[in-house]
Amino acid sequence: MLDQIHLLAAVTVLGVLEQAYFFLQVIYARRAFGISPPKISGPPEFERIFRAQVNSSEYFPIFLALLWQAGLFFHQGLAAALGLVYLYARYRYFMGYKASSSESISPGHPAFLPLSLHGAEHPPPSQSVTHCSVPHQCPRLQVLLPPVHSYRLPATNTVPSDKSTLT
């Protein structure tokens, strides 16, 4: 039985170690910026590290479930190889997000695939979705949202000018 799951177990242990590394990065950032738990806001550098860790931990249970189901029901070697690719991509995501929010989603980044499928091949590096004052004017959201048109209703006079029509 162990020969059927040893690769899956190894990838699982590597994934747990990666999550522990991400948790440690948040602890070091908390100490460096003087942010004690349960606070989650602070300088942008801390918030990027914290958000990257939270994003990674949110998807970890899904990753584990898919890894083990694919390994047990299909092919252990292929599932383990794809698991290693995912862990490497998650590490690159974390480091890119930690460095700068604009560098985290670049055309060479695996997380960029959903954006490239929608046609946002080169998002502007200086703008963030959260900094757009009007959502439909944000270049990253233009590919996802239909254009907004301003419609003017014709001006009508709803008050009768003659009192004789009020009977």
Half-sphere CA count of 82, side-chain side, radius 13 A: 14
Amino acid 63: pLDDT = 98
**Nearest of 24, 6, 136 to residue 79 by alpha carbon:** 6
pLDDT band at 104 (very low <50, low <70, confident <90, very high): very low
The answer to whether residue 155 is domain-embedded is no
Q: What is the residue-wise DSSP string for 42-107?
A: -SHHHHHHHHHHHHHHHHHHHHHHHHHHHHHHT-HHHHHHHHHHHHHHHHHHHHHHHH-HHHHS-T
Structural domain including 104 reads 2-108
The answer to whether residue 68 is domain-embedded is yes
Amino acid 153: pLDDT = 53
Amino acid 127: pLDDT = 41
CATH number of the CATH domain containing 18: 1.20.120.550
The answer to whether residue 77 is domain-embedded is yes
The answer to whether residue 122 is domain-embedded is no
The answer to whether residue 127 is domain-embedded is no
Q: How many domains does the chain have?
A: 1
Number of Cβ atoms within 10 Å of the Cβ of 147: 6
Q: What are phi and psi of 39, to 5 degrees?
A: -60, 140
- The two three-digit tokens of residue 163, written as one number: 């009192």
pLDDT band at 110 (very low <50, low <70, confident <90, very high): low
The answer to whether residue 87 is domain-embedded is yes
Amino acid 4: pLDDT = 81
Half-sphere CA count of 104, side-chain side, radius 13 A: 17
The answer to whether residue 124 is domain-embedded is no
The answer to whether residue 156 is domain-embedded is no
* DSSP SS3 for 133: coil
Quickly tell me which residue has 């290693």 as its tokens: 84
